[in-house]
Amino acid sequence: MNSAESAVPERVAVTAEAAELIRRLREAHGPLMFHQSGGCCDGSAPMCYPAGEFRTGVSDVHLGDLIIDGVPEPVGFWMSGPQFEYWSHTHLTVDVVAGRGSGFSLEAPEGVRFLIRSRLLTDDELDRLRG
Amino acid sequence: MTTYTAPGTQGSVMDYRSRYDHFIGGEYVAPAKGGYFQNPTPVTGQTFTEVARGTSDDVERAIDAAWGAAPTWGRASYEERSGVLLAIADRMERNLEKLAVAESWENGKPVRECLAADIPLAIDHFRYFAGALRGQEGGISQIDQNTVAYHFQEPLGVVGQIIPWNFPILMATWKLAPALAAGNAVVLKPAEQTPASIHVLLETIADLLPTGVLNVVNGFGVEVGKPLASNPRINKVAFTGETTTGRLILQYASENIIPATVELGGKSPNIFFDDVAASRDAFYDKALEGFTMFALNQGEVCTCPSRALIQSGVYEDFLAEGVERTKSIKQGNPLDTETQLGAQASNDQLEKILSYIDIGKQEGAKILTGGERVEMEGDLAGGYYVQPTVFAGHNKQRIFQEEIFGPVVSVASFDDYDDAMKIANDTLYGLGAGVWSRDGNTAYRAGRDIQAGRVWVNNYHSYPAHAAFGGYKQSGIGRENHKMMLDHYQQTKNLLVSYSDSGPGLF
């Protein structure tokens, strides 16, 4: 087993298009964070904020950090714990589509919207995540 | 059958202006930073107007105007305030078609729903709160022979309201009518997906409202919603939307120690017990229609019955007939009064729905009908249309747990009453639910055991004023649509009066 296989698998990734948008938002707004939303209207979509704008608490789970070229610090990705219980078997990829957005997410004025694409985690990934 | 002409073309019952500014202090005001954003119709994907892109400067200006009006409006007689609401309702009624077509064009929903539901419900809502206000009484408590506690309801002052895009005029009305009745001045932010139809309403009613009582600032959440919700000069914030923004708004409210009401959606179960199929009669047909209600308003309803739970004894038959009913839904031009299913409100909404259909398939849920984007022809080709979709699966799958906000229902079976309640309550949310049974005892018990603020029994998707609406669990805080909403927009003043000539004798 090489080191890549033994490492803890990632839960969240980012597409090249979304990474480019995050780079631009980082330049305009400083360090960033994501919190996955649930519920109606613009829910079930990731919200991007200046880091610290949304105060995570004991009920939130840190799914991972997005490491993006040109962004000096990792971009944390969070979700509420109860929501994570229903999502924990899936791998998430932050993507971006044209759209009007809403909520207070930073990208909405750009005419685009972050979107989550999902796939099932493999049995092997789940085993290693459980450690 | 009627097909309304598209706004902006010859013969239309209404036209949008080419640009909308903010409505502040009784007049239209250009945005301080001069920006505008384009507003497309989901019917065709084409831009039909542009709207002011507000910033914190505009929010401050609107709050100034609201504070200029709040003291006088808050002291206005109940007769006067009630009268304004009644006049608004009358004016809307005379402009029903115009408002309905405006909302359909901006949101993509079938105009038949705007004509029969959205706008008539909004009209009734203004009338209801006009009446609720007149019926409101403070309390008098006799503490002892010479001591009386008087309770008065007083307005909060200036309130901020953030409106969703799924019912642009009706959801604005749900928030506006109680706030105005209670004597508050309002700064309202429409959704950026549907910023313009509220201005068609404003054009219709603005002259009825005292200057500054209602102010509308358009723009994006981060640029207008945040400076409004976090503003120390508002006395309450009301929001309908999703959980992360809801939490953020509650965080801002905690900084200013102001009340907040938040309605954050759901994943509503619609439960069909075996006995619905005891006879293939009108009630059975009604239940099948109840199943199909997931497609109402393209599924863009916080209480969309997006989880259908069918008892195992009738599961196969009822589901098969429900799928057939779903296939008979007429999808098409929202401006055609025959159309039952229109366009999703925005491109990102369309993409999100498709991403959920994708994960549903990956998780092994079976598509019984639908599951694809609809490519329309002609003028509608650029619009955002999705087939009504029925999934069969189980409650741990993500399509059973997350609000897709599209015409998508996820169906599972249950064995008995306890199983039904277990599945129904296995969700983060508790906004709506449906219970279908011919047995009154079963229906009553289920209605009480489901952890949701609104349980429809043998009906669904009815939203009359005077029936409280709001969530349990993560679906939010507060109740709309009922006179108790006046309390969410008022302070209670207690005047504790001693009529005794003698002191207590302590010092």
Q: Give the pLDDT confidence of B289-312 residue by residue, as tens digits.
A: 999 999 999 999 999 999 999 999
Query: Is B153 an interface residue toward A (CB < 8 Å)?
Result: no
Q: A27-60 burial by CB neighbour count: b if 16+ within 10 A, else e?
A: eebeebbbbbbbbbbbbbbbbbbbbebbebeeeb
Q: What per-residue confidence (pLDDT) applies to A5?
A: 52
DSSP β-bridge partners for residue A34:
A48, A77
Any A CB within 8 A of B240 CB: yes
Give residue A41's pLDDT.
80
pLDDT score recorded for residue A131: 77
DSSP string across B187-226: EEE--TTS-SHHHHHHHHHGGGSPTTSEEE--S-IIIIIH
Could you tell me if A40 lies within 8 Å of chain B, comparing CB atoms? yes
Q: Do A102 and B352 count as a contact with CB atoms less than 8 A apart?
A: no
Question: Does the CB of A72 have a partner CB in chain B at under 8 Å?
Answer: no
Cα–Cα nearest to B52, from B24, B30, B77:
B30
Distances (CA, A) of B440 to B271, B443, B458: 14, 5, 10
Answer whether residue A38 is part of any domain: yes
What part of B 37-56 touches A (C-beta under 8 Å)?
Answer: 37, 53
Domain, as residue range, for A95: 9-130
CB contact A84 to B (< 8 Å): no
Give the model's pLDDT for residue A6.
57
The residue type of B294 is: F
CA of B256 to nearest chain A CA: how many angstroms apart? 16
Neighbours of B57 (CB within 10 A): 12
What is the model's pLDDT at position B240?
Answer: 96
Which residues 474-493 of chain B have a CB within 8 Å of chain A?
474-475
> Which of A104, A111, A118 is nearest residue B248 as measured by Cβ atoms?
A104
Task: Single out the residue of A20, A12, A26 nearest to residue A78, CA to CA.
Answer: A12
Which residue, among B473, B390, B356, B353, has the nearest Cα to A90 in the 3D structure?
B356
| CATH 3.40.605.10 domain extents, chain B | 29-264+475-493
* DSSP structure class, residue B10: T
Query: Residue B347: which of A87, A99, A119 has the nearest Cβ?
Result: A99
Q: Inspect the interface and report whether the beta carbons of B243 and A38 lie closer than 8 Å.
A: yes
CA distance B31 to B329: 43
Nearest to B193 among A49, A86, A100 (CB): A100
DSSP structural state of residue B295: G
User: SS3 for B323?
Assistant: helix
Give backbone dihedrals phi and psi of B486, rounded to 5 degrees, phi first. Answer: -55, -40
Q: Flag if A44 and B191 touch (Cβ within 8 Å).
A: no
CATH number for the domain including A48? 2.60.300
Chain A residue numbers touching B164 (CB-CB < 8 A): 40-41
ipTM, interface predicted TM-score of the complex: 0.94
**How far is Cα B384 from Cα A71, in angstroms, rounded to an integer?**
34
Note the pTM of the prediction, 2 decimals.
0.96
Buried-state track B468-499, b at ≥16 Cβ within 10 A, e below 16: ebbbbbbbbebbbbbbebbbbbbeeeeeeeee
**A106 contacts B193? CB cut-off 8 A:** no
Examine the residue annotation and report whether B263 is marked as an active-site residue of this protein. Answer: yes
SS3 content of chain A, % helix, strand, coil (to 5): 25, 35, 40
Interface residue A82 vs chain B (CB under 8 A): yes
Chain A residues close to B404, C-beta within 8 Å: 44
Looking at the complex, report in whole angstroms how far the Cα of residue B16 sits from the nearest Cα belonging to chain A.
Answer: 19
- Rounded to the nearest angstrom, the gap between the alpha carbon of residue B228 and the centroid of all alpha carbons in its chain is 20
Residues of chain B with CATH 3.40.309.10: 269-457
Q: Is the pLDDT of residue A3 over 50?
A: no
Q: Which of B263, B372, B225 is nearest to A41 (CA)?
A: B263
> How high is the pLDDT of residue B347?
92
Residue of A nearest to B395 (CA): A86
Give the phi and the psi of residue B275 in degrees, each rounded to 5. Answer: -70, -10
CATH of B29-264+475-493, one of 3.40.50.620, 3.30.499.10, 3.30.70.260, 3.40.605.10: 3.40.605.10
Note whether residue A94 is domain-resident.
yes
Cα gap B390→B370, rounded to integer Å: 7
Task: Compare all CA atoms of chain B with the CA of A60 and give the residue at the minimum distance.
Answer: B244
Give whole-number Cα distances, A20 to A25, A28, B221, in Å.
9, 13, 22
User: Six-digit token pair at B136?
Assistant: 């409101």
In this complex, the residue of B245, B402, B405 whose CB is nearest that of residue A104 is: B245
DSSP SS3 for B377: coil
Put simply, the answer to whether B266 touches A105 (Cβ < 8 Å) is: no
What is the nearest CA distance from A116 to chain B, expressed in angstroms? 8
Mutate to test the interface with A, among B348, B353, B356 (most CBs of A within 10 A): B348
Q: Which fold has domain B269-457?
A: Aldehyde Dehydrogenase; Chain A, domain 2 (3.40.309)
Q: What distance in Å separates the CA atoms of residue B232 and residue B262, rounded to the nearest whole number?
A: 18
> In the structure, what pLDDT confidence band is assigned to residue A2 with cuts at 50, 70 and 90?
very low
The total number of structural domains that make up chain A: 1
- Does residue A4 have a pLDDT over 70? no
Predicted local distance difference test score (pLDDT) of residue B410: 98
Residues of A in contact with B423 (CB under 8 A): none
- B176/B195 Cα distance (integer angstroms): 16
Using the beta-carbon criterion (under 8 Å), do A108 and B220 form an inter-chain contact?
yes
Reading the block at residue B403, the tokens are 């609000």
- Cβ pair B208, B88 in contact under 8 A: yes
Under an 8 A CB cutoff, do B348 and A105 touch?
A: no
Rounded distance between C-alpha atoms, residue B481 and residue B167, angstroms: 14
Kindly give the parts of chain B with pLDDT less than 70.
none
Q: Which residue has the tokens 């610090």?
A: A73
Are B55 and B33 contacting, i.e. CB atoms less than 8 angstroms apart? yes
Contact B221 A102 (CB under 8 A): yes
Report the relative pairing of strands B429-430 and B373-374 from DSSP bridges.
unpaired
In angstroms, the separation between the Cα of residue B49 and the nearest Cα of chain A is 14
CB contact under 8 Å between A105 and B351, yes or no, is no
Cβ <8 Å between B362 and A118: yes
| pLDDT for A1 | 39
The string of pLDDT tens digits covering residues A90-123 is 999 999 999 887 789 999 999 999 999 999 999 9
Return the residue in B245, B263, B353, B356 with the most chain A beta carbons within 10 A, the one to mutate for interface testing.
B245
